[in-house]
């Protein structure tokens, strides 16, 4: 069994971490061929209550394999979240302290918080003593309820495969979406931002997480109560406003899936430099019943009531006034219209 050592990150101030020596790994070789250095600091941000506690249980089982696989060249730092936004704070401190990688362990909610932790005041965070040249890599061990972002890469909820990807050290620059709300508040999203019915369904689905993936069905059923399609005005890439009639849902994808496996934005690619927009118009409840399979396999773009386009930025607002049109990103409820979304191309290194 490997020895347990105390290994603090430089300038570490907000959280304490346990570092462990483990297996063999050279994470310093990626597609750019960077020269290796001695030891790597990997920070694993774990949501132990994710997926009704399954994330915490699986993490404990995973640790022996993690130690064997990730090598004596790495310090493994565990940090457990205990409440909302804590993963964000942990990530920021890890990056400022010079961590080589921050790995989200959990579902899309944990990943969303970790991604937001890569930024501060609208800009990427840099290590305090290692300069802007040093970039902290984002990693993912998908152990959540939906794990929708992982589906874009064809990954399963297999933590051993995720560790193998980290061990290989291959990285890719990926895009991140930036959402700005009416009050100027900014949020970042790695997966899908959405508006109206789907966002409302996501809001209610979060109340039924104890039901596993079935929470998305329950959330959708609850969202239909009192739902009305809404005329919205949309501005693309800073051009003139256009009105879209009877919008049921509007999805802005940096990646393809949401809602526990629904391929809602099938053309999205996190490395494309664009956001993909899909607008469902004048959908009735029976349209979802009869066309649900198309929403899951991504063939709904051929429907006459579905519009899609690629954008660098998009602004969405109600034609009149400010009502209760829900807005969310990565499954997290953020507020209501109006909203602006834009793309930050190639802004984060990601283990692939």
Tell me which residues are annotated as active site: 108
**Rounded CA Rg of the chain:** 20
- Give CA–CA dist 135/348, Å, rounded: 8
SS3 category, 245: strand
Helices (H), the chain: 54-70, 86-96, 108-116, 148-152, 159-168, 197-205, 214-224, 285-297
- Give CA–CA dist 135/123, Å, rounded: 13
Helices (H), 172-284: 197-205, 214-224
- Give CA–CA dist 110/126, Å, rounded: 21
Q: What is the DSSP letter of 131?
A: B
The kind and range of the H/E element at 310 are strand 306-311
Are 326 and 199 a contacting pair, CB within 8 Å?
Answer: yes
Q: How far apart are the first and last CA of the chain?
A: 29
Are 167 and 137 a contacting pair, CB within 8 Å?
Answer: no
- Give CA–CA dist 218/202, Å, rounded: 10
Are 199 and 328 a contacting pair, CB within 8 Å?
Answer: yes
**55 phi, psi to nearest 5 deg:** -60, -45
Chain center to CA of 143: 13
Are 141 and 161 a contacting pair, CB within 8 Å?
Answer: no
Are 2 and 67 a contacting pair, CB within 8 Å?
Answer: yes
Count CB neighbours of 155 within 10 A.
Answer: 17
């Amino acid at each position: 069994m490997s020895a347990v050592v105390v290994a603090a990150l430089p300038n570490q101030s907000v959280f304490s971490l346990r570092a462990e020596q483990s297996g063999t790994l050279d994470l310093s070789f990626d597609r750019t061929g960077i020269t290796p250095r001695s030891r790597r600091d990997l920070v694993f941000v774990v949501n132990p209550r994710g997926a009704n506690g399954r994330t915490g249980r699986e993490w404990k089982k995973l640790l022996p394999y993690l130690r064997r696989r990730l090598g004596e060249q790495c310090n493994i730092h565990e940090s457990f979240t205990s409440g909302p936004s804590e993963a964000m704070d942990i990530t920021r401190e890890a990056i400022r302290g010079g961590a080589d990688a921050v790995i989200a362990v959990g579902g899309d909610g944990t990943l969303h918080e970790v991604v937001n932790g890569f930024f501060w005041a609208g800009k990427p965070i840099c290590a305090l003593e290692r300069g802007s040249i040093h970039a902290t890599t984002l990693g993912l061990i998908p152990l959540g309820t939906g794990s929708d972002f992982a589906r874009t890469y064809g990954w399963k909820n297999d933590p051993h495969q995720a560790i193998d990807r980290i061990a290989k050290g291959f990285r890719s620059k990926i895009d991140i979406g930036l959402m700005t709300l009416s009050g100027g508040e900014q949020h970042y999203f790695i997966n899908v931002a959405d508006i109206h019915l789907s966002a409302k369904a996501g809001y209610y689905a979060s109340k039924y997480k104890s039901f596993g993936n079935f929470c998305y069905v329950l959330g959708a059923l609850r969202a239909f109560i009192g739902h009305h399609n809404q005329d919205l005005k949309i501005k693309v890439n800073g051009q003139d406003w256009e009105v879209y009639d009877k919008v049921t849902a509007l999805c802005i994808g940096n990646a393809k899936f949401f809602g526990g496996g629904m391929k809602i934005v099938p053309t999205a690619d996190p490395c494309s430099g664009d956001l993909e927009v899909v607008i469902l118009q004048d959908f009735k409840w029976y349209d979802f019943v009869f066309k649900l399979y198309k929403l899951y396999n991504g063939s709904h773009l051929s429907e006459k009531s579905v519009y899609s386009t690629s954008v660098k930025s998009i602004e969405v607002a109600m034609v009149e006034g400010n009502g209760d049109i829900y807005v969310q990103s990565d499954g997290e409820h953020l507020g209501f219209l109006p909203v602006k979304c834009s793309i930050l191309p190639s802004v984060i290194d990601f283990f692939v």
